[in-house]
Amino acid sequence: MAACFYFLALGLVVPGLTNSNGIKTKPVFIAALVAITLHVLLLKDLILGGSGQNLSILNVASLISLIIAILTTFAMLRMRVWFLLPVIYSFAAINLSAATLLPGAFITHLESHPQVLFHISLALFSYSTLMIATLYAIQLAWLDHKLKNKKSLKINPNIPPLMMVERQLFKIILVGNSLLTVTLISGIFFIQDMLAQGKTHKAVLSLLAWGVYSVLLWGHYQKGWRGRRVIWFSLVGAFLLTLAYFGSRFVKEIIIGG
């Protein structure tokens, strides 16, 4: 049912992206809100249904999809994020379905380690925020391509101007990189084996991603970087962060099945 309501919201958005008719915010918001509520209830059972917390890779992916869906759904009330919603709602529906139909197990006991829970929460929010920035970068690339190839964009009130997308992109990256900074600092203080064997790559890749985003922010605000360089930096940062968060877990849980 959650997936159905996500696709219903998606169906209410897509037609408005292909014509100049306005998208009605209220029906989309209601459908998405119902989907999110059902998503929360199901994910609660998947993660908290047994002893401890089941943070399997599919459950974590579904949780990240949920956070992104919540942030962008409420953002639609103030900003034109219509271009992003089909991708976000599709991934939320697919991730939740996968977590439900392909159950895995990675049991933790965060109730006895509140500092680790704090660190993981920061990591989830920083990753979710920077993934939203990645979607903005893709949207920016699409708009930039259309303009540079002199392909006229039909007047569509649902598609935001290029400069607005760019401003919002850097605001989101700034917030996401700030959260990532706090995440790395908390990891140093709270995760005693952060640099232990098997976890070193996570720390190194996260630091590299932080460096990429930091250089990007410096380049934009100090050197006026814009255009394709910004897009590539955003994509590289997202790739490194995804490898850091999911690389070894994907190999162990999905490929090896351990």
127 plus 252 within the same structural domain? yes
Burial of residue 156, with CB atoms counted within 10 A of its CB: 0-12 exposed, 13-18 middle, 19 or more buried: middle
Q: Which of 78, 112, 146 is the last residue of a domain?
A: 112
Q: Which range of residues forms the domain containing residue 74?
A: 1-112
Q: Which of 112, 147, 181 is the last residue of a domain?
A: 112
Which tops the pLDDT comparison, 75 or 197?
75
Q: Tell me the pLDDT band of 194, cut-offs 50, 70 and 90.
A: low
pTM, whole model, 2 decimals? 0.87
Which tops the pLDDT comparison, 148 or 179?
179
CA angle 192, 196, 197 (to 5 degrees): 160
Q: Is 60 exceeded by the pLDDT of residue 24?
A: yes
165 plus 66 within the same structural domain? no
Which range, of 125-129, 198-202, 253-257, averages the lowest pLDDT? 253-257
Query: What domain count does the chain have?
Result: 2
165 plus 214 within the same structural domain? yes
Tell me what the pLDDT averaged over the chain comes to: 86
pLDDT (0 to 100) of residue 26: 93
Q: Tell me the pLDDT band of 248, cut-offs 50, 70 and 90.
A: low
133 plus 253 within the same structural domain? yes
pLDDT (0 to 100) of residue 251: 56
pLDDT tens-digit readout, 40-71 = 999 999 998 777 788 888 899 999 999 999 99
16 plus 40 within the same structural domain? yes
73 plus 160 within the same structural domain? no
In sequence order, which residues have a C-beta less than 8 Å from that of residue 51 and are 6 or more positions away? 107
Q: Is 70 exceeded by the pLDDT of residue 37?
A: yes
6 plus 42 within the same structural domain? yes
128 plus 108 within the same structural domain? no
135 plus 243 within the same structural domain? yes
Q: Tell me the pLDDT band of 192, cut-offs 50, 70 and 90.
A: low
125 plus 104 within the same structural domain? no
pLDDT tens-digit readout, 76-94 = 998 888 889 999 999 999 9
Q: Which of 90, 112, 134 is the last residue of a domain?
A: 112
90 plus 177 within the same structural domain? no
179 plus 77 within the same structural domain? no
Contacts 24+ apart (CB under 8 A), 198-206: 198/248, 201/243, 201/244, 201/247, 201/248, 202/244, 202/245, 202/247, 202/248, 203/244, 204/244, 205/240, 205/241, 205/243, 205/244, 205/247, 206/180, 206/240, 206/241, 206/244
In sequence order, which residues have a C-beta less than 8 Å from that of residue 186 and are 6 or more positions away? 115, 118, 119, 122
pLDDT tens-digit readout, 90-127 = 999 999 999 888 877 777 877 777 888 888 899 999 99
